Structure 1
Amino acid sequence: MQPQADSSKAGQVFDWAVLRRLLAYVRPYRRVFIGLILLTVAAAVLGTLRPFLIQRMVDVNIEQGDWRGLNVQFGLLLVLLVVNTGVSYLQTYYGGWLGQYIVRDIRTDLYRHLLGLKLQFFDRTPIGVLVTRNISDVETLSDVFSEGLAAMAGDVLQILFIMAFMFWIDWRLTLISLSVIPPLLFSTYVFKEKVKGSFQDVRNAVAKLNSFVQEHLTGMNVVQIFNNEEREFQKFKKINQEHTDANIRSVLYYSIYFPVAEVLAAIGVGLLVWYAAQGQIEGTISKGALIAFIMYNALFFRPIRQIADRFNTLQLGLVSTERLLKLLDDKSLVATSGDADPGQLTGEVEFKHVWFAYNREVSEANEPEWVLKDINFRVEPGQTIAFVGATGAGKTSIINLLSRFYDIQQGSICLDNRDLRDYDLSRLRRQIGVVLQDVFLFAGSIRDNITLGNREITDAQIWEAADLVGARRFIERLPAALDYPVMERGATLSVGQRQLISFVRALVYQPSIIVLDEATSSVDSETEELIQQAIEKLMQGRTSLVIAHRLSTIQKADKIVVLDKGEIKEVGTHDELLRRPDGYYAQLYQMQYLAHS
């Protein structure tokens, strides 16, 4: 699968609405922000005083032989340097401090938001893009405060103060110095626009790289099984080259702009010296003024050269902010409209005329592709209901709806005679234990994967559940037992061991309803027999919804629902359905019986 590129582009106009929303994150740290503004002003003023003091030392003290005054001025210069160093330190530190705390808050809000999004959002959004949003884009925002807003404001203030001092000392020399400003501003504008586009291309390329690498590392076994390494490598090389080309373009623009800016600054100094030399000969320009202007020229052109780069930093930060805000504004949240506490459910489940499609948009021009069509069934407390059918019949969709991973378009789902949407979502899900076919284990210990960080679950409860499902024996054999480190996705454990851990994980929460989605389809016969014995104990006193391709595992179910293309074709017990020789279930059973005979 080719990863999707990020299509967002940096706008041509400064987006003040995005900036205002970003500054809203500054509110908890407004004292630091105000202090940072004051430090920026102080740094701008202090940075422009040094040439003025040196001009006074030359023209007043040295020319007049006032050595005492010279010593006083020199002492003031040293104090100025020390104070300026301290202010620069505080400005840099608190600018970075503010940026990092805002990054922390935004990343926290973003991750909390991602946790609440419906699975439909993750179905259509590449994981690599979300990783880029949560890591790279958020990290860019720290530069907005450490190198963008404050630094750019400081540059502008410094330019204004320098110009004020220059006009105060000699307006003629000031005009000569400013004569190269128009071509410098033009080159700065061109550089800003070019670098902005290249940086945006870099961000898009990073998102594509993250998506590609994440997807293919996850599916590496498929790549190697089908001997597809070379083709996937060539795809990676193409995406990686796009990333390199985008970076090279930005390097090219930098390598052109800064030498041009240096040449223009040198021309400005040359014109200044040429004009001031004539003034020296004629006695209209002092030596101190010439020295001060040479120093001011160096100070003046440095922030002008930097301001374009800082503007791009700010622009890219705002582009990243816009992407993040777009993600935070995504309304694909799991609706938590209900606040009812289900308490301890009896386990009565009823689907009433349920229609469901993964593409939610329902309109005359866009008819949904219905996955479930007018589904009706009822499960009494403590009963076991099984769902069978071909792949794509809608079995997994039913259990996804029961846990409210998705919401239905039509009909209603009731638990204990109350609509599912009336319940508080987190409390509802604690009442439903789910064991999936594809068991996902996190990097961490066996204990962490069973409790999922819930400190209320004790080791005694874990061992009790492990005893029930027959997992104690293999856990005790592992080095460090419950503290055994599980690699990402449980790579160091067998399929059967991962499945047993998922049973323990479901059982320790003492759910009222158990959902088994192909829970034994990936284990060997010995482990399957062990799990089947545990399932019988697990189901005692609980409503159970079971999905299985192996019809032998559901023969004892109180009710079997046969699905085909999202519709219920048959309902009955194993024996009742077998009495219908032309029925769907009887045909499925006959095919499996022949396949294993």
Structure 2
Amino acid sequence: MKRIIELLKISNVKLWTLFGILLLAITSSFFSILPTNILGETSKIIIDLLAGNGSVNTIKTILIIYVITLILGTIIRNVFCYLSSKFSNMIVFKIRNRTYSKLLKVNVNRLNEMDMGLVTNMVFNNTERLELIFSTSLFTMLSDILDLIIMSIFIIKIDPIILLILISVIPFTYFMAKRSGHEQKILAINRIDAGTKIINNLNDSYNNIDYIRVYNGEEREVKKFGQVNNEYRNISNMSDKKLSTFYVLEKTCRVIGTAIALSYVTFNIINGKVDTGSFLVIVIYSEKFFAPITNMIRYFQYLQQGFASIDNILAFLKEEDFIKYEFLKYKDTAPYLMSGEDLEISVNGNKVATCKNFNIKDKTINLVEGDNGSGKSSILKGLLGIYNIEKGLIYADKKLQYIEKIFAYSKQNAILFNLTVIENCLYPLDLESADSKTIETVKGFLSKLNFKDEQMYKIAGEGGCELSGGEQKKITFIRSMITPTPILILDEITSNIDAKSIQVMEKCIVEESKKRAIIYTTHQISNLISSHTKNIVKVERRQL
């Protein structure tokens, strides 16, 4: 119970909501019990009538009240079930959004330990299983087929015509069930499609987590995730609504059949064909009862699955947050913009790179040199907070202390969002939020780098799968160039690029180096880049 309360607090569930559901549940139970009491009163009046007291009209009136009360109780019960499901969907929606937001903020060490399967299971599957607790209700566990068979045998012993009356309702319920099943099948397909969108969104965000953090795209990603998550919730609500409507109509048919059967029994009691006790027997057997033992065992299993998911979710939400630029200390670092000593970079406790002197000058190209596999990219990821700085300190000039976004970044293994080419360049902006000047600048870059006009609005595909590796690098390069930050990090961005595009990119880099610090790595340095490089950072090969 403590875990459920904690989850409700995280979901910001209002007390009046819980009170309303509780009140509706009590009302639903009351109206479910009331018809039996009314029928008991009917039996009493029937006995009085046989003794020469009472009135047939009174019996008719009570039967009408019984029908109205039973239908009303059915409506209230199904409204309660629908609102309970909607309440469950709301909790799943909020917790899923919360876990997704946490994914974008989780500490770098924890993030590096997680694979895509774990992320998918945490954000989607575990939250989905919360429905086992908040949606599955004891009130929905009906009797099984064996109960129906046994009840049918006893009804036949009383009068086979009564069973025929009840069976006569089946064609109507079958028709409604078939139609409802078709609707649920369509909604189930839509729900799977919506679930696929959520998974794809997760893949997109997971593959681009470094860009999201560097470019402060958390707000946009949470908003985009909320949209697909909301689509999934709406489909679930629609499914529950249609199912609740079916239950009302189906129960109404059964109520009418029961009312006819009871009228027939009453007529036979009056005429002495059956005994008075048959009336309540038919009332009991014409309704489906719960199978307590079987369903309670099943429900207990559901609860255990749900509680396991709650434990996983709560543990994940308590993970330490990623703090941007936590590793930076600020002081007067002249003549450098940034300075570090004796740096060691690690991933999951394993040292992946070292650098004795990490000094970065402003308004020039700072070339990071080192042997293949020495960890040049790892040093840069440590600077971005993607990898952990195990030892050493990095000092930044005081003028950077209050800047929200210090770095722009383009890496050698570019991975794109499932957006258009131009939207990938604008990230975290889009065509609506970006100003016309920025959009025109992006189009200019794309044109210079051999993108045709029609390609600019082409969907890049998941991870950029619809584009070549070179095209992906060009896009992340453009994104970093249009982002106004004090430091621009370019990690092997010209490898596997055509010669003409490399010339364009290098000219842009040289021009940009007049405005801000460029941290640059490459395996093949050109004469142009070399002539404008005023500072070199050496990365030593790590000792395994």
Q: Same fold (TM over 0.5)?
A: yes
Cα deviation for residue 515 of structure 1 reads: 0.8
Match of 2:94 in 1: 105
Unaligned 5+ residue runs, structure 2?
143-198, 208-273
Measured on the aligned residues, the alpha-carbon RMSD in Å equals 3.6
Match of 1:513 in 2: 487
Cα deviation for residue 523 of structure 1 reads: 1.2
**What letter is aligned with 1:558?**
K
* 2:133 is aligned with 1:144: yes
Distance 1:100 1:473, change over 3 A: same
Match of 2:270 in 1: none
Aligned counterparts of 1:336 and 1:110: Cα–Cα separation in 2: 23
Q: Deviations over 1:397-434 (max 9, x none)?
A: 2211222223423321122158x8xx46xx54x23111
Distance 1:347 1:292, change over 3 A: farther
SS in 1 for 2:409: strand
Match of 1:562 in 2: 538
Distance 1:507 1:466, change over 3 A: farther
Give the conservation status (yes or no) of the 8 Å contact 1:32–1:94.
Answer: no
Unaligned 5+ residue runs, structure 1?
1-15, 157-209, 219-285, 361-368, 568-597
Cα deviation for residue 545 of structure 1 reads: 1.0
* 2:347 is aligned with 1:358: yes
Match of 1:408 in 2: 389
Give the conservation status (yes or no) of the 8 Å contact 1:53–1:77.
Answer: yes
Match of 1:83 in 2: 72
Aligned counterparts of 2:420 and 2:500: Cα–Cα separation in 1: 25
Q: Deviations over 1:157-205 (max 9, x none)?
A: xxxxxxxxxxxxxxxxxxxxxxxxxxxxxxxxxxxxxxxxxxxxxxxxx
Cα deviation for residue 152 of structure 1 reads: 2.8
Cα deviation for residue 288 of structure 1 reads: 5.2
Distance 1:473 1:350, change over 3 A: closer
Cα deviation for residue 437 of structure 1 reads: 0.5
**What aligned pairs does 1:413-424 form with structure 2 within 5 A after superposition?**
413-416=394-397, 423=401
Match of 2:280 in 1: 292
Cα deviation for residue 109 of structure 1 reads: 0.9
Q: Which of 477, 484, 490 is residue 464 of structure 2 equivalent to?
A: 490
Give the conservation status (yes or no) of the 8 Å contact 1:55–1:288.
Answer: no
Aligned counterparts of 1:401 and 1:42: Cα–Cα separation in 2: 60
Give the conservation status (yes or no) of the 8 Å contact 2:370–2:540.
Answer: yes
Q: Which of 409, 418, 423 is residue 434 of structure 1 equivalent to?
A: 409
Aligned counterparts of 2:525 and 2:12: Cα–Cα separation in 1: 61
Cα deviation for residue 80 of structure 1 reads: 0.8
Aligned counterparts of 1:68 and 1:62: Cα–Cα separation in 2: 14
Distance 1:381 1:29, change over 3 A: same
Aligned counterparts of 1:416 and 1:25: Cα–Cα separation in 2: 40
**What letter is aligned with 2:6?**
R
* 2:476 is aligned with 1:502: yes
Give the conservation status (yes or no) of the 8 Å contact 2:327–2:393.
Answer: no
Give the conservation status (yes or no) of the 8 Å contact 1:334–1:405.
Answer: no
Distance 1:466 1:550, change over 3 A: farther
**What aligned pairs does 1:384-403 form with structure 2 within 5 A after superposition?**
384-403=365-384
* 2:5 is aligned with 1:20: yes
SS in 2 for 1:28: coil
Distance 1:300 1:339, change over 3 A: farther
Q: Which of 379, 382, 386 is residue 360 of structure 2 equivalent to?
A: 379
Give the conservation status (yes or no) of the 8 Å contact 1:356–1:409.
Answer: yes
Aligned counterparts of 2:336 and 2:440: Cα–Cα separation in 1: 26
Q: Which of 32, 54, 64 is residue 49 of structure 2 equivalent to?
A: 64
Give the conservation status (yes or no) of the 8 Å contact 1:387–1:561.
Answer: yes
Give the conservation status (yes or no) of the 8 Å contact 1:348–1:381.
Answer: yes
Match of 1:458 in 2: 435
Q: Deviations over 1:455-509 (max 9, x none)?
A: 5532322332553x5645634x242x54332222223323332222212211221
SS in 2 for 1:353: strand
SS in 2 for 1:474: coil
Match of 2:35 in 1: 50
Cα deviation for residue 78 of structure 1 reads: 1.5
Q: Which of 434, 450, 453 is residue 474 of structure 1 equivalent to?
A: 450
- Aligned pair count reads 408
SS in 2 for 1:545: strand
Aligned counterparts of 1:371 and 1:21: Cα–Cα separation in 2: 40
Match of 1:244 in 2: none
Aligned counterparts of 2:84 and 2:282: Cα–Cα separation in 1: 30
* 2:435 is aligned with 1:446: no
* Identity in percent: 19
Distance 1:547 1:534, change over 3 A: same
Q: Deviations over 1:230-282 (max 9, x none)?
A: xxxxxxxxxxxxxxxxxxxxxxxxxxxxxxxxxxxxxxxxxxxxxxxxxxxxx
Match of 1:578 in 2: none
Give the conservation status (yes or no) of the 8 Å contact 1:121–1:332.
Answer: no
Cα deviation for residue 74 of structure 1 reads: 0.5
Match of 2:266 in 1: none
SS in 2 for 1:488: coil
**What letter is aligned with 1:292?**
L
Distance 1:45 1:111, change over 3 A: same
Distance 1:547 1:539, change over 3 A: same
Give the conservation status (yes or no) of the 8 Å contact 1:54–1:288.
Answer: no
Match of 2:338 in 1: 349
Name the TM-score, length of structure 1 as normaliser.
0.61
Aligned counterparts of 1:294 and 1:78: Cα–Cα separation in 2: 15
